[in-house]
């Protein structure tokens, strides 16, 4: 069964409104008996859950730990096993980097190298201003190469985008990132013979950058992952006849939203700014994707308290979304990031769907365990989009 084709065929335009609030990395594991979500004081989410249909989602399928790209694609109705996106293209588009057919992009982290070991993959989350200065320093210092141009673009905190522009570059490369700390640097490797030349170009770049930055105490090397060329993917406008908009602070999520045809709405860096933007532009669109990053960042830092507080802060803005009177409001996550693990995990995500067309279940609080008892059960996240569309009355009957 081709779900994407079927949902696309029965999609219809309407004035009904959908809000998808994604609390990145929301799911957790118990610390002293409670997950971050269970420990948080969330009166508004709990009240909403009591009036909603709830469940748990698996971004890909059970047991698979997803990256942010496939996890979000699933929520947007795309098969994450069919559309394989490199993190680089998402970060690049979210940072307004122009990517052409001869360009190869990757997401980069400034990192700390000490005694030949990566001791901090994020260089202490350096300020964005320091990042920008480092990118400028490298752009000025990198040696010229015949037929190849390399440019770094600063993103947020320790993140940046690097673009390699030249003929016959390949994205069939492994990540040049050990993915954990207190391990040596790693180089990229070609995944096919045709990518060998590109791998050498990237590895030479890594060595050159490390040499240029060797005098610095923390941001003295770089890690690269998500090598990618520009992909071909249908938009939400084409597939589901939506007028979609995205509200996010971080470039990678803006990039993914732009790739699937969402208009990127300007918002400041504070959590409240996301909801300000939704209110300001509510009349202009019928699908709003709102992304909260703080929950994921705290989970990756292993900071249980900060993640709990990020959940509580987000909860305080739920009344503002309800005041807009959307036909469908979904609150969920793209993936779980337990602070206990300090990383993405395979654990399912709590999911609630509020709509006058939804059947409320017996879930009384918005937690992982409570949602497991919900009406929607445990399902793959790719079903989230047809559920939202159906409850917003944006799907016609299938078949005779």
Q: What is the mean pLDDT of residues 27-36?
A: 96
Which DSSP category does 376 fall into? T
Query: How far is the C-alpha of 89 from the C-alpha of 72, rounded, in Å?
Result: 14
Q: What is the pLDDT of residue 34?
A: 97
Residue % of the chain over a pLDDT of 90 = 87
The pairing of strands 221-228 and 244-247 is unpaired
CA distance 233 to 304: 37
What's the confidence (pLDDT) of residue 359? 95
pLDDT mean over 369-378? 97
pLDDT at 182 over 90: yes
Per DSSP (E only), the strands in 36-147 are 53-58, 103-114, 117-120
* pLDDT beyond 70 at 95: yes
| pLDDT for 120 | 92
Helices 68-75 and 384-391, axial angle in degrees (round to 10): 30
Structural domains in the chain, CATH included, are: 3-85+234-391 (3.40.720.10), 91-228 (3.30.70)
Mean pLDDT of the chain: 95
Q: How far apart are CA 104 and CA 169, in angstroms?
A: 7
Residue 44 reports pLDDT greater than 70? yes
Residue 300: partners with Cβ closer than 8 Å, 6 or more residues away:
25, 337, 342, 343
CA 119 vs. chain centroid, Å, equals 25
Residue 58 sits at φ, ψ, to 5 deg, of -110, 120
Residue 75 and residue 21: Cα distance in Å, rounded?
11
Q: What is the pLDDT of residues 57-85, one digit of tens each?
A: 999 999 999 998 899 999 999 999 998 88
Extract the runs of DSSP E, i.e. beta strands, from 45-158.
53-58, 103-114, 117-120, 148-154
Residue for token pair 């989602």: 57
| pLDDT at 267 (0 to 100) | 94
Reading the block at residue 330, the tokens are 């979904």
Query: pLDDT at position 172, please?
Result: 94
Using a 10 angstrom Cβ sphere, with 0-12 exposed, 13-18 middle and 19 or more buried, the burial of residue 390 is: middle
Burial of 303 (0-12, 13-18, 19+ CB in 10 A): middle
- Please state, as a whole number, how many other Cβ atoms lie within 10 Å of the Cβ of residue 98: 8
Q: What is the pLDDT of residue 91?
A: 83
Band of pLDDT at residue 1, cut at 50, 70 and 90:
low
Task: Tell me if the pTM is above 0.85.
Answer: no
* C-beta separation of 87 from 259 below 8 A: no
CA distance linking residue 290 with residue 49, whole number of Å: 18
Query: pLDDT tens digit string along 5-26?
Result: 999 999 999 999 999 999 999 9
Q: 10 Å Cβ neighbour count for 397?
A: 6
């Amino acid at each position: 069964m081709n779900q994407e084709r079927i949902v696309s065929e029965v999609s219809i335009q309407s004035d009904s409104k959908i809000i998808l609030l994604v609390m990145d990395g929301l799911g957790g594991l118990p610390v002293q008996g409670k997950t971050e979500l269970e420990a948080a004081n969330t009166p508004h989410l709990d009240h909403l859950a009591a009036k909603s249909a709830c469940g748990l989602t698996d971004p890909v399928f059970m047991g698979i730990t997803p990256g942010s790209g496939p996890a979000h694609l699933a929520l947007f109705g795309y098969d994450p096993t069919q559309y394989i996106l490199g993190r680089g293209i998402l970060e690049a588009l979210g940072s307004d980097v122009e990517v052409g057919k001869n360009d190869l992009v990757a997401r980069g982290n400034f990192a700390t190298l000490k005694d030949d070991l990566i001791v901090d993959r994020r260089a202490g989350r350096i300020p964005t201003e320091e990042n920008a200065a480092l990118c400028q320093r490298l752009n000025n210092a990198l040696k010229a190469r015949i037929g190849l141009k390399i440019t770094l673009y600063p993103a947020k905190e320790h993140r940046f985008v690097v673009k390699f522009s030249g003929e016959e570059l390949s994205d069939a490369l492994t990540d040049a990132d050990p993915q954990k700390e207190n391990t040596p640097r790693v180089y990229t490797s070609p995944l096919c013979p045709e990518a060998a030349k590109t791998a050498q170009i990237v590895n030479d770049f890594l060595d050159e950058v490390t040499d240029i930055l060797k005098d610095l105490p923390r941001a003295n090397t770089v890690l690269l992952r998500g090598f990618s060329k520009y992909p071909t993917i249908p938009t939400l406008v084409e597939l589901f006849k939506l007028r979609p908009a995205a509200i996010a602070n971080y470039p990678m999520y803006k990039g993914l939203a732009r790739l699937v045809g969402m208009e990127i709405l300007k918002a400041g860096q504070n959590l409240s700014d996301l909801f300000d933007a939704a209110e300001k532009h509510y009349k202009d669109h019928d699908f709003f994707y709102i992304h909260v990053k703080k929950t994921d960042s705290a989970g990756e830092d292993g900071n249980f308290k900060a993640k709990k507080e990020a959940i509580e802060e987000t909860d305080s803005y739920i009344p503002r979304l309800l005041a807009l009177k959307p036909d469908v409001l979904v609150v969920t996550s793209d993936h779980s990031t337990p602070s206990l693990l300090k990383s993405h995990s395979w654990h399912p995500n709590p999911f609630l769907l509020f709509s006058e067309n939804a059947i409320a279940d017996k879930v009384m609080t918005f937690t992982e365990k409570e949602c497991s008892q919900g009406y929607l059960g445990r399902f793959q996240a790719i079903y989230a989009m047809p559920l939202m569309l159906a409850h917003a009355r944006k799907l016609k009957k299938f078949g005779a």
